[in-house]
Amino acid sequence: MRAFGVRLWAGLRALWTRLGGLPVPPRWVRYTLVGLVVVLACAVYGVTTASVRASLGPHNATYEVTTNSVITVDLGPLGTVQLESPLPASLGATVRIEEIPDDLTSVDSATTLNALASDVQSYLQFFSGPSATISYIAKALIQDAGRRAGAALGVVVLISAVGYLALGSARRRELGVPLARGTWAITAGVAIVALVGGTVVTNRATTSLYEVGAQASSVFDGTALEGARITGRLSGVIETYGGQLVGVYRDNENFYAGANSKLTEAWQLRAEEDLAAADLLVENAASDSPERAGSGDDSAATDGSAATTDPGEQGSTTDDTASPSEDESSQEKAAEIDEKDIVTLLMVSDLHCNTGMSPLIKNLATLSGAKVVLNGGDSTINGTAVERFCVDSFAGAVPKGATMVQSDGNHDSSITSGQARDAGVTVLDGKVVEVEGIRILGDSDPNETRIGQGSTSVTGETYTQAGERLRDVACEAKDPVDLLLIHTPAVGDPVLASGCVPIQLSGHKHVRIGPQVVGQGIRYVSSTTAGAVEGAATIGPLNGVAQMTVFRFDTERRVMLDYRVVAVYPDGSVEVGAPMTFPLVPTVVESLTGQAPETVTDTPADTPVDTDTPSTDPAGP
**363 pLDDT higher than 90:** yes
**Do 523 and 491 contact (CB within 8 A), yes or no?**
no
* Residue 527: alpha-carbon gap to chain centroid: 20
More confident: 313 or 84: 84
The amino acid at residue 556 is E
Provide the pLDDT confidence category of residue 402 given band limits of 50, 70 and 90.
very high
Secondary structure (3-state) at 601: coil
Element (H, E) at 91: none
Q: How confident is the model at residue 509 (pLDDT cuts 50, 70, 90)?
A: very high
Q: What is the mean pLDDT of residues 365-394?
A: 90
- Does 314 score more than 70 pLDDT? no
The per-residue pLDDT of the chain, averaged, comes to 75
Distance between terminal CA atoms of the chain?
Answer: 76
Half-sphere exposure of 355 (CA within 13 A, CB side): 27
pLDDT exceeds cutoff 70 at 580 = yes
**Confidence at residue 339, expressed as pLDDT on a 0 to 100 scale:** 81
What's the rounded Cα separation, in Å, for the pair 504 and 515?
A: 9
More confident residue, 199 or 301: 199
Give alpha helix (H) positions in 342-413. 358-368, 388-395
Which pLDDT does position 263 carry in this prediction? 96
- What Å distances lie between residue 369 and 364, 366, 403, 550, 578, CA to CA? 8, 5, 12, 10, 16
What's the pLDDT at 604? 41
Long-range contacts of 162-168 (CB under 8 A, 24+ apart): none
| Pick from 314-323, 511-520, 560-569, 590-599: least confident | 314-323
Mean per-residue pLDDT for 554-582? Answer: 94
pLDDT tens digits, 129-162: 555 666 677 778 888 888 888 898 898 889 888 8
Q: Does domain 342-593 have CATH number 3.90.1150.10?
A: no
What integer is the mean pLDDT of 405-411?
94
Domain residue extents for the chain: 23-220, 342-593
Average pLDDT on 420-447 reads: 94
Higher pLDDT, 121 or 230: 230
pLDDT higher than threshold 90 for residue 351: yes
For 609, how many CA atoms within 13 A lie in the half-sphere containing its CB? 7
List 432's β-bridge partners, or say none.
441
pLDDT tens for 5-63 read: 667 667 666 766 666 666 777 878 777 878 888 888 888 888 888 888 776 665 677 88
pLDDT of residue 594: 64
Helices (H) and strands (E) in the chain — how many of each?
14, 22
Element (H, E) at 494: helix 493-498
Rounded CA separation 332/336 (Å): 6
Alpha-carbon distance 372 to 374, whole Å?
6
- SS3 call for 576: strand
Distance CA 391, CA 378 (A): 10
Flag the least confident range among 91-105, 146-160, 412-426, 535-549. 91-105
pTM confidence score: 0.65
Which of 209-213, 282-286, 496-500 bottoms out in mean pLDDT, i.e. has the lowest? 209-213
Mean pLDDT, range 369-384, rounded to an integer: 92
pLDDT score, position 281: 77
Mention every residue, 6+ apart, whose C-beta is less than 8 A from residue 439.
432, 433, 477, 479, 480, 481, 482, 483
Buried b (16+ CB within 10 A) or exposed e, 289-310: eeeeeeeeeeeeeeeeeeeeee
- Residue 92: phi, psi to the nearest 5? -135, -160
pLDDT the model gives residue 296: 43
For β-strands 372-375 and 342-348, DSSP reports them as parallel
Q: Which among 566, 550, 439, 564 has a CA at the least distance from the CA of 503? A: 439
pLDDT at 132: 60
**573 — pLDDT class (breaks 50, 70, 90):** very high
Strands 403-406 and 372-375 turn out to be parallel
Backbone angles phi, psi at 69, to 5 degrees: 60, 25
pLDDT range class, residue 590, cuts 50, 70, 90: low
Residue 23, pLDDT score? 75
607, 513 contact by CB (below 8 A): yes
pLDDT tens-digit readout, 325-349:
434 443 444 444 468 889 999 999 9
Q: Where are the alpha helices (DSSP H) in 411-462?
A: 414-422
Q: What is the dihedral of CA 103, 106, 108, 111, to 10 degrees?
A: -150
Nearest to 530 by CA among 618, 607, 610, 447: 618
CA geometry: angle 488, 493, 494, nearest 5 deg = 125
609 pLDDT more than 50: no
